[in-house]
Structure 1
Amino acid sequence: MSTARGENRVGAQRRPATDDAVKSARRKARAADSRRRALLSQDRAVTDGSLALSPVAEPVEVETPKPRRDQTTAPARSARKAPPEPVTTARMPFVLSILGLIAGGIVGLLVLNTAINGNAFELQDLREKQTKLDAKEQRLTDELADVKAPGNLAAAADRLGLVEAEEITYLRLPDGKELKMPTPGGN
């Protein structure tokens, strides 16, 4: 696991001797860089904060732990390996793809909502037309029932000058023969 400064830590244990050696080496490098810059430009003093004037620390050797006697069956570890560096991926393409998915979803919802609302208006118009057609059908059915009433048929026949037939005769179409129907009480 690595911290913000890039120092390596193993679990919760910190290796102070190694950290101090790294810090000391960094201080030396900064001080040498400061001195080199000062030598190149003679008019500046050799100071770069407290690092240029700090004393040089000697490197510290770190002993590796010796295996205990009860661990004779396990292979001896002479040096510990640092954990692998964390894998870093580019965040910008991921962020852009997520934003694209969100924008696409919103646009899709807007298109779907518009289509649903358009269909709702069309459905409302069709329902209004259906109501008008149902009312017209009912009115025409009522008029037809009035015209078919027996009293209205007799009145319409009188207006046209029709009289009631005394004898009913039927024609048989294949041979054209007339068939007379008997009347009640007649011969």
Structure 2
Amino acid sequence: MSEVKLAAAVRTEFGKGAARKIRRSGNVPAVVYGHGSEPVHITLPTHDTVMALRTPNVLLSLDIEGRNELAIPKAAQRDPLKGFLEHVDLLIVKRGEKVTVEVPVVAEGELAAGGNLLEHVLNTLSVEAEATHLPESVTVSVEGLEAGASVTAADITLPKGVTLVTEADAVVLQVLAAQAEEPAAEAEGDEAAEA
């Protein structure tokens, strides 16, 4: 996992008007907290922050006016209609510290023939890992799985140094049998032939 460096500035103005002004200037309001320290209200460059947040569980190296802090995203609020970033909550972490995060589950491979469907019961797994070595995702092979098969959290191989927090017997993926569609076109054709 790579670190993304972001320059941050401490902000002293708060409220909706101040937040709008910050966003108009090309920045996004954020707050950094954790390890018993007082929350620090900052601004981050919007474009760089959006690009960094595309990587799940990204490790951010923040330069807060000369002081360096490592942080991971805890929450990001977006405008519900336009989708732009409105605010970011960041959690301070230390090297060597273990943290619990949600990691996306990626399925790869082809199911057994028959038009079966793969259902993602859980899209993410809760795992514990060292803050500077957080996995971006976990991959599960579904190659050749038949209808009725399922993959539990315990079945997933995790990277070295990562432990499962999600219950081991929780179903993550399951294969559903293809539903046979009623032949509507044939039924209409039979009625036309009878008339």
User: Is the pair's TM-score, using the shorter chain for normalization, greater than 0.5?
Assistant: no
TM-score, length basis structure 1: 0.19
With normalisation by structure 2, the TM-score equals 0.18
Q: Return the index of the structure with the highest Cα Rg.
A: 1
